[in-house]
Amino acid sequence: MDLLGLFPPGTTVDADGTLMVAGCRLDHLAEQFGTPAYIVDERALRERAREFSAELGSRWPNSRVVFASKAFPCTAGYRLMASEGLGVDVAGAGELVMALAGGVPANDIVLHGNAKSDSDLQMAVEAGVGEVVVDNFDDIDRLERLVTGEQGVLVRLIPGIRAQTHEAVATGHDGSKFGLSAADAARAVERLRHSDRLRLDGVHVHVGSQILDAEPLAKAAEAAAALGDFDVYDLGGGLGVRYTYNEHPPSVAEYVGALTEAAKAHLPSAARILIEPGRAMVARCGITLYRVLTVKHGAPTFVAVDGGMADNLEVSLYGQRFEATIADRVGGGAVVDLVGRHCESGDRLIAGVPLDDPKVGDLVAVPVTGAYCMTMANNYNGALRPPVVFCSDGSARAVQRRETYEDLMRRDLP
């Protein structure tokens, strides 16, 4: 059935009709770890990392996949990426701390950010991160004060490309808060070429996120080329994923093929290419598991679960559409509104989703929640952030525990 195509690859239905992810029954996972819970198919995530590396490496050998870790900043996730030989990009000191704790070699880390503080940069420099992406002239000023040896940097260029995506995750258009205009980027390049502490390695471009067409992503290579010849070109990420039935993003092979064809046409053949998949790396590898707390029949019928906008903010922020199913009655059913338990009318996880005769106590599985849901989890209404559970070959382990009420008060002072 088409619904299973949204779940991690290899998801099956057991003999009694219960969904199984990575060989684990969802009802058993709910009993062991409670709900709501973020469930990650570890093997699927490893295979996805390998797919990106293989597709890029086969087309452009001097290259590296750098995981955009803001999509899933979890120490166990960093550990997995490091074990698969990927670099990671971090967008702040907190992500840097987790990446280092996960065993990512500092030289394989790229630091981003449009407003880096002295402490952010000091931590990065002391750790020995491989590249700092210069987003503004203040970055250069701070780095030249802080660096005592040599630090590799990339200049972030606004490529002037407006892709079809939600305004909140579009980054490559003129007027973006990220990066430098072509004229300012050229000035930054000239200044860095004369720095005795900052080593100008190349240029960085990024068009946006959840982009379902490879063309604007590939066009970024041409924009980067206009800035000059460099040793490194970081072409960013942005490849979208299929959240629901009517979305059809390019495959990894199609995406990487478009990028490398553009690179062959516009970039030096000896240059190193970096790409930064985030959402496309992890989204389909994760699901969120809820339990139904109440069913309110009417027009519409509301099915309320024990989570909501505290564990999935993408609906409220971006209007992202998801799908869902009862865990032991997969697919079909009457159309209902799946809502959360929080005190907001906007806490509506999925409007107009078919669920098969939902009842109090049923488990509901929402696929394609591996990206940004855990990232943006919050304590609205005192909600406890869910655990992260890695599953593989029928075994499951929590890699991040559920928050406790004691955690909520841990920062309180007398």
Residue 347 CA: distances (Å) to CA of 206, 308, 338, 360: 31, 6, 9, 19
In 295-364, where does DSSP find H-type helix?
314-318
Question: Three-state DSSP class for 87?
Answer: strand
Helix (H) or strand (E) holding 7: none
Q: Is the dihedral of CA 312, 317, 322, 324 positive or negative?
A: positive
Q: How far is Cα 255 from Cα 317, in angstroms, rounded to an integer?
A: 26
Q: How far is Cα 61 from Cα 55, in angstroms, rounded to an integer?
A: 10
Could you identify the residue written with the tokens 């009842």?
359
Instruction: Specify the DSSP class assigned to residue 384.
Output: P
Helix (H) or strand (E) holding 75: helix 75-83
Backbone angles phi, psi at 135, to 5 degrees: -100, -15
Q: How far is CA 183 from the centre of its chain?
A: 31
Q: How far is CA 12 from the centre of its chain?
A: 25
Q: How far is Cα 168 from Cα 313, in angstroms, rounded to an integer?
A: 13
Q: How far is Cα 148 from Cα 81, in angstroms, rounded to an integer?
A: 30
Q: Parallel, antiparallel, or unpaired: how do β-strands 334-339 and 363-367 relate?
A: unpaired
Residue 343 annotated among the catalytic residues of the structure:
yes
Q: Which of 74, 343, 373, 391 is catalytic?
A: 343
Known catalytic residues are 343
